[in-house]
Amino acid sequence: MKRGQAGLVNVFIGLMVVILVAVSVVIPAVQGVITAGNYTGTLATVLNLIPLLLVIALVLVIVGLYQTGRK
């Protein structure tokens, strides 16, 4: 296997780990805590945006790892 291919494999493995941890652990935990809080009004609206912001951060991490692996 060439050096560039090995680097791409390492990036892919890193991406899979980050995606699995974020999707299976972090996002449901945050949603559960927000739901259990029984918040209303503006606070509930802002808190319901947190999982979306986590997904956006996850996408940025994936893009960053991909760009790092290409160098």
Does residue 62 or residue 49 have the better pLDDT?
49
Confirm whether pTM is higher than 0.75: no
Per-domain residue ranges of the chain: 22-70
Residue pointed to by tokens 């291919």: 5
Does residue 15 or residue 39 have the better pLDDT?
39
Distance CA 66, CA 46 (A): 30
